[in-house]
Structure 1
Amino acid sequence: MCKQLESDDSYTITTMKVERIYLLFYGISLISACVNAFDPVTTTVAMGIGATLGTIYKYFQESCTPKWIVFNATGLDVDLEKRLFGQHIATRIISKAVNGFLNNDNPKKPLVLSLHGWTGTGKNFVSKMIAENFYKEGMDSSFVHVFTSELHFPHASQIETYKSQLQQWIKGNVTNCPQSMFIFDEMDKMHPGLIDSIKPYLDYYDKLDGVSYRKAIFIFLSNAGGESITQTALEFWKAGRNREEIELADLENKLTLSVFNNKKSGLWHTSLIDKNLVDFFVPFLPLEYKHVVQCALAEMEARDLEPDMSVADQVARDLMYFPKSERVFSVTGCKTIVSKLDYYV
């Protein structure tokens, strides 16, 4: 378990490159010093090179400072508007929640977001957007920690061990950097009650054992609640109403109840809900055909390809939709767009 968790904190590619350069030149300086052992000038130069490279290494090594952690509010808003398709509710909530929290120098508690919806609707994508516009290294930052239930917490018999290790992991990383981000993927597959073990770190405390968690960000990703969200979207569609008319109020109560009462969800009967520690339950609507087309065009642009509507249409047509008779919503959202596009371009 610990080895798996430690893998999340590996060096970034940039840091590894600098480290190799440092070791190379350090080796060269040692050789020069040995060969010219009686040449004080050469020895001094070699030592100077080693010291300089040491300074360069420290300069490129990620640290918990404004040089590496700075919030780009405009960048996040642009990403949400231009790259997240069909999610007017999520776009609005995420923008206000993250902007409000990161522009507050003295938050009263950590930011806790719970993102819900079918696969491929943009939950992981949004998490990535937040990281990219907050940490210079984005998702590769050593201050971003991703937990996947089936990978990091696979055995129900070890739940108590997981709880202890999770607490220690969060405490250690927040001690290292107060502005750490923790992403819990597949919450609907997590052992119920596990998340309750970190409840104290999400609450309104100035400090716990000398550590403040108020500047940390916790993001929960789950398919739980997807059915109720889809049902509401389908009702609007059948009534001939525009999906943009759907408001958070139309989904919030159903979503909270379906998550709280889902025995397979890590949030089942959790005190996080009772204590109102989840700041926002964010619904992600199922994606329609037109949104899949937009995803395909955006992926072409990301690959520096000329956007081709005919190819995007073909990719969208290849996907499965539901209900079967009406074919309104994509079963997999935009999740398989990348592999599908590989086939056509």
Structure 2
Amino acid sequence: MAAFRRFRAGKFLLYLLLAAPLLHVAVSLEPISISIGIAAASAITGYMSFPNFYCGRLVECCQVDTPLNSTALLVDLKEKLYGQHLAQDVICRALTGFMSNENPKKPLALSLHGWTGTGKNFVSKIIVENIYDLGMKSKFVHLFVSTVHFPHNSLIPLYKDQLQSWIRGNTSRCARSIFIFDEMDKLHPGLIDAIKPFLDYYEHIDGVSYRKAIFIFLSNAGGDLINRRMLEFWTSGRKREELQLKDVENFLSVGLFNNNNSGFWRCALIEKNLIDYFVPFLPLEFSHVKKCVLAELRHRGLEEDEELAFRVAKEMTYSPKENKLFSDKGCKTVSARLNFHL
């Protein structure tokens, strides 16, 4: 009975401690009850003030002020992404610089371009996982797929309103929101201009700052232009790794702006220079496809098999017909091909 009274007294003191700023209460309790109450209050206060405990175990928190581990990001890009030295360098530098800036002038906008299977979706996944532990499942990461979310040309005005509302609402909740737009080459021209105000150099729009948000655009558009430049490099005897961003970026942005089969056609985001980087994903060669096969084997917990990787990579189709340099589908069908052999 005495123990029960002490428990009740400690619990009552805890209530008083929490309400102290509002109430002035005089209470007289035996010393042991006071000790229990103070210890309990201290334990609760300690846990609630420890961000890693609260954010990591209780809820997912917006990573607005959490610095990026650029070393971990670079390791992920180099170990998991094959044949894309430009994408590795540009993305690592862009994200590191942006997230280390406490007061950026505008959101970060990355536009990733290249043939299917070259790693665009894979890279967006790597980026997200290096910012949020839950990756693509994070409530602060938002994926839009053109053919799923914006399928009807007649509903563009409605889509624009919905898109603005979604971005406004989620950025209000978390300044470090990430918005990914996939299949930009299938997006109705003009629709993406709805987000122009959020990518511009405004400090606030209706009390909301978008400057710490990240926008990522994924598109097959421009892939032919990138492949043509890559072929020119090969024909002139230059190494793949010699290709620099300046060799591709300008003519890529111009080509997208003038391509009426792209969601970027006559786009205000390009016209007003609101996209920070146009990142080219180069066509993959036989050696890169082979690495993808070995990576898939590791992912399945199987032993690496060089001979099997060679056979699977050899079955893929390559172009141009004269020299068969580049994989037509990149690494996209590697998993299915491997299933056939296993």
Q: Tell me if TM exceeds 0.5.
A: yes
Alignment of 1:47-58 (within 5 A): none
1:60 aligns with 2:58: yes
Cα contact 1:70–1:135 (8 A) shared by 2: no
1:336 aligns with 2:333: yes
From the superposition, tell whether residues 200 and 66 of structure 1 become closer, same or farther in structure 2 (CA, over 3 Å). closer
Residue from 195, 198, 204 that aligns with 1:198 = 195
Deviation at 1:303, TM superposition (A): 1.9
Cα deviation, 1:56-81, whole Å, max 9, x if unaligned, reads: 999433232579x6633221100111
Any idea what SS the aligned residue of 1:62 has? Answer: coil
1:306 aligns with 2:303: yes
Give distance in 2, aligned partners of 1:139 and 1:73. 19
When normalised by structure 2's length, the TM-score is 0.82
Deviation at 1:240, TM superposition (A): 2.2
Any idea what SS the aligned residue of 2:278 has? Answer: strand
Q: Which residue of 2 aligns with 1:166?
A: 163
Any idea what SS the aligned residue of 1:112 has? Answer: strand
Give distance in 1, aligned partners of 2:328 and 2:188. 26
Deviation at 1:247, TM superposition (A): 1.4
Residue from 149, 153, 164 that aligns with 2:150 = 153
Gap runs ≥5 in structure 1:
1-51
Which range is displaced more, 72-81 or 139-148?
Answer: 72-81
AA in 2 matched with 1:318: E
AA in 2 matched with 1:267: F
Cα contact 2:64–2:175 (8 A) shared by 1: no
Cα contact 1:163–1:197 (8 A) shared by 2: yes
Q: Percent identity?
A: 57
Deviation at 1:280, TM superposition (A): 0.3
1:316 aligns with 2:313: yes
Alignment of 1:243-322 (within 5 A): 243-322=240-319
Give distance in 2, aligned partners of 1:234 and 1:326. 10
1:187 aligns with 2:184: yes
Any idea what SS the aligned residue of 2:230 has? Answer: helix
Give distance in 2, aligned partners of 1:253 and 1:215. 26
Give distance in 2, aligned partners of 1:71 and 1:218. 17
Give distance in 2, aligned partners of 1:239 and 1:198. 41
Give distance in 2, aligned partners of 1:207 and 1:136. 28
Give distance in 2, aligned partners of 1:239 and 1:72. 38
Deviation at 1:344, TM superposition (A): 2.0
Alignment of 1:25-104 (within 5 A): 59-65=57-63, 71-104=68-101
Q: Which residue of 2 aligns with 1:143?
A: 140
Deviation at 1:306, TM superposition (A): 1.3
Give distance in 2, aligned partners of 1:155 and 1:250. 37
Larger Rg: 2
AA in 2 matched with 1:151: V
* Count of matched residue pairs: 291
Cα deviation, 1:137-166, whole Å, max 9, x if unaligned, reads: 111101110000000000000000000000
Cα contact 2:64–2:212 (8 A) shared by 1: no
Deviation at 1:249, TM superposition (A): 1.8
Cα contact 1:71–1:135 (8 A) shared by 2: no
Residue from 124, 129, 140 that aligns with 1:127 = 124
Give distance in 1, aligned partners of 2:54 and 2:84. 42
Q: Which residue of 2 aligns with 1:6?
A: none
From the superposition, tell whether residues 107 and 66 of structure 1 become closer, same or farther in structure 2 (CA, over 3 Å). closer
When normalised by structure 1's length, the TM-score is 0.81
Give distance in 2, aligned partners of 1:117 and 1:133. 23
Cα deviation, 1:275-311, whole Å, max 9, x if unaligned, reads: 1100000001000000000111112122222111111
From the superposition, tell whether residues 277 and 57 of structure 1 become closer, same or farther in structure 2 (CA, over 3 Å). closer
Which range is displaced more, 108-117 or 73-82?
Answer: 73-82
Structure 1 stretches of 4+ with a deviation exceeding 6 A read: 55-58
